[in-house]
Structure formats: C-alpha cells, structure tokens
Amino acid sequence: MDLNQKFGEYMLLRRIAVGGQSEVFLAMKRGPETYTRPVVIKALPPQRREDEKHIEVFYREAFISSRFIHPNVINVHNACMIDGDHCMLMDFISGQTVADIARRGYQRKSPPTLKQVAQMIADACNGLHYTHNFRDLDGQQYSVVHCDISPQNLMVTYHGDTMVFDFGIAHIIGYDTTPPVSGGKYAYMSPEQLKGEPIGPRSDIFSMGVILYELCTGYRLFRRPSPQEVIGAVLDDPIQAPCELRPEIPPFLESIILRALQRNPYERYESAADMRSDLIEFLEMSPERGDLRRGLGAYVSAMFKDERADIAATLSRAPALQSGPVASLVHLSSPQEPENTMDLEWSGEMLYPHLSPNSEPAMTSGLGDGKDIAVFRNEADTTTPPKGSREVVLAVALAAMSILSLVLFVVLMLGRAA
C-alpha cells in the first residue's frame, strides 16, 4: 500500500520493514525540474525516540556506516532529525535478503545452487575484509567487526551482487572496551562472542560459516527451542558433516565450511579475504562457469518477480503523486501489517524451512536426528504464555466469576421478594 505522505523533504512511499529497534521506509526525494532519487529511510520507532541508549546506538551505526565506500557494503549517506524523528538515509538497493531468498527457494523446491551460494558468500567476505581493515580519510586504520552477520543482514541485488549492511552492534577493535553480546542473533554468533571474550574478524568468519553451512545443506545448524539451548549448541554441540545432509557437496567446499566453523578462532581462516579466496577457487574448479553473477541476479529476479514489479510500479508512480499530509512516525505506527518483519533479536523463528534440496515438505529436523519439527508451523501458536500472563488471566477469570455470582444472588433475592 502506497503511503504518499510528506516527511520533511521526502515523500514516504511505503514501509519496507518494522522491528522493535527501527522502522524502514522507501521514500523519494524530489529536486528541481524532473530530478528524483529513491532512498531508504531507517528511523527509530516512536517508542524509542526518547531512549538515550537506543539513540546513541542508532547514530553510532550511522557514523560507522557513513564511512564505508565499497561495492559489497551498503552505505549510509546522511543522518538527521526529520520532524522530530531520528533518521538515517541510505541508497535504495533493489534486491532481497539472503534470508528471504533461502526461505522462498526451499519453499519452491528451487534453492540457490552451490555455486550461487559460494558466489554470495564470497561477495560478503569481500565486504567484510574491507570493514575489518578499514582506513578512514586520514589514513588511520580501524578494524570494524560486524558482530551481527546473519542471512537477514546480507542483501543480494537483482544484478547478483551481495552486500553487507546493519552495523548496529559493530565492534571497533581497540576503541570499544567490551564486545557486544545482546542485540544479535545467537544462532549466528561466534563462541567467543557468546562467552564475552575478546573478538576479532574471525568472529564474523564463524558467522559466515554458519550461513554457508545452512545455504548449502538446507538445514538450520544451531536452531533450538530457546536462547539458552541455542547458546549451548553453538558452544558444545557436535556439527554434523555437511555431506551427510547433502552428499553432492564437494569435499573442497565442505572443507571451507568446516574451517570457518572451528570453535577455536585460531583454527579458522585468518581473514575474510582468505575465505573468499578459497570460495573463488571452488568456483573456478567448475568446467561450466558461465556468467555466474548474471545467473544469480536472474535467479533472484525470477524468484521475486512480483515483488520487484510492485516496487518498480511504486517508484514509477511517485513523481506524479501529489504530496499528501505531513507524516509522523507516531501516526504511521498504527496497527497495520508491515510487508516484512525484521528479526532484530533472536526470536526462535525459522529463517527458512528445514528442507534438504530434494526433499518433500514434511516433518523433518534441523540436524537430521529424527526429532520431528513441523516445517511450516507457526511457533507463536504453540508458545506457552509466560507465568505473569497466566496469573493475569486467572485473576480476570476469578473476578468474572465473582461478578457473575453476585448478579445471580441479586436476581435470586429479587425473585424471592416478588
């Protein structure tokens, strides 16, 4: 649904995603004559606009991301207050997240090929190597560790390029005193990050290893019923060999996955560039290479044909739209259903079904251990309410029973009097 709402010098076109920590909108900036520019506005939601901690983290992300200029990293080009709302502005990237690509691919029994997966991860590693060895304009070098690498934070464009984004909890080595633990997704964190130990670029490499494992096998590696069990799995549970879940995974690709997943950081790749180098070597082993990037872009375009056309139609209508009423995020935060929901913190939900590439939709498990897990079930329907909620429900029920008893007593007494 088009919003057509004026927001500062921008016109909000539609809400792209919403979460507890931020809201994301597609917008259009107009200029003289026929000049227009599509942008993405990321804003603190109304309930966070007075929270000093969230404001500090928000602008820290904007500060870090505004320094980056790299084809595999999404750049923030402005941060400002718009009509009382904290906002950062980014270029609109036409594509889909790796989470959405994997989910839809497995649902339609047409997941990305192993070569396409290797291309995506190689691009992401290229972006990470840049941030891990970032040099600012003054030549000063900073090592910026992302700390929240997950399928939701990797974007694949319709041209087949993969980009890293969302540096909300990034850690700058030598400047930040403690590594972040909260705010990320436990199932993709490195063991050292979960334990609160010093972290470095190899922490992001572990996260990339988890994503590579899941994309290649079709199985969630550390999915468990609760955050505590997820943490335990990341720290201690055996990792099943990828080829046992998908036999066609070549030994060299499997070795890349398992090296990235070493729990001892010194046994992983020393740098994201080294991991990328091995992935490129794997791609060059194939006798039928073709234009892999173009093929990946065509795959994503075909998988999201309707969504791409819908966004294109919204952008094409934007120059002809008349500016509507002035928007406020409080007004726009009415209980309407957003197009996407961002999992900014671990919620236990599946990112995509536990389907091996050739399996039928059925009851299957994330580790192939025989424990049945419903592939398409809505876990929210089976979650036990917290203890406090049960007590409130019980209190309301008792109050209702008391009122009903009183009414019956009054009716009985009136009947006797009559």
Measured distance CA(231)–CA(262) in Å, rounded: 16
What is the residue-averaged pLDDT of the chain?
Answer: 80
pLDDT band at residue 207 under the 50/70/90 scheme: very high
Neighbours of 70 (CB within 10 A): 16
Tokens 């070795």: give the residue: 255
pTM, rounded to two decimals: 0.77
- Judged by phi (left if over 0) then psi (alpha if -120 to 50, else beta), residue 84 lies in left
CA–centroid distance for 80 within its chain: 24
The per-residue pLDDT for 403 is: 57
Return the domain boundaries, the chain.
1-92, 95-295
pLDDT at 190: 96
Tokens of 13: 């076109």
pLDDT (tens digit per residue) in 245-292: 999 999 999 999 999 999 999 999 999 999 999 999 999 987 666 789
> What average pLDDT does this structure show over 70-99?
93
**Which residues are CB-contacts of 206 (< 8 A; sequence separation ≥ 6)?**
189, 190, 191, 260, 261, 262, 265, 268
Q: Is 396 left (phi over 0), alpha (psi -120 to 50) or beta?
A: alpha
Can you give the pLDDT at residue 193? 94
Enclosing H/E stretch for 59: helix 52-65
Higher pLDDT among residues 66 and 290, named by residue: 66
Q: Which residue has the higher pLDDT, 329 or 384?
A: 329
Q: Using 50, 70 and 90 to split pLDDT, how confident is the model at 334?
A: very low
Q: Predicted confidence band at 27 (pLDDT cuts at 50, 70, 90)? A: very high
Q: Is the pLDDT of residue 19 over 90?
A: no
State how far the Cα of 14 lies from the Cα of 43, in Å rounded to an integer: 13
Q: Can you read off the two tokens belonging to residue 369?
A: 């251990």
pLDDT bucket at 299, cuts 50 / 70 / 90: very high
Using alpha carbons only, give the angle 183, 189, 195 rounded to the nearest 5 degrees: 90
- Per-residue pLDDT at 415: 57
Q: Is the pLDDT of residue 386 over 60?
A: no
- With a pLDDT cut of 70, the percent of the chain lying above it is 73
Topology at the third CATH level for domain 95-295? Transferase(Phosphotransferase); domain 1 (1.10.510)
Cα separation, 173 vs 191, whole angstroms:
18
Decide: 1 and 13 in contact? Cβ < 8 Å.
no
Q: Length of the chain in residues, anyone?
A: 418
More confident residue, 182 or 382: 182
- Lowest-confidence range among 4-13, 64-73, 207-216? 4-13
Phi, psi of 95 (to 5 degrees): 180, -160
Whether 341 and 17 have beta carbons less than 8 Å apart is answered as: yes
pLDDT score, position 52 = 87
CA atoms in the 13 A half-sphere facing the CB of 341: 10
pLDDT of 376 strictly over 80: no
Residue 29's alpha-carbon distances to 61, 165, 198, 270, 316, in angstroms, are: 23, 22, 42, 43, 13
Longest dimension (CA), the chain: 98
pLDDT score of 366 more than 70 = no
Mean pLDDT of 312-334: 66
- Give me the pLDDT at residue 346, please: 29
Q: Quickly name the fold that domain 1-92 has.
A: Phosphorylase Kinase; domain 1 (3.30.200)
Higher pLDDT, 345 or 281: 281
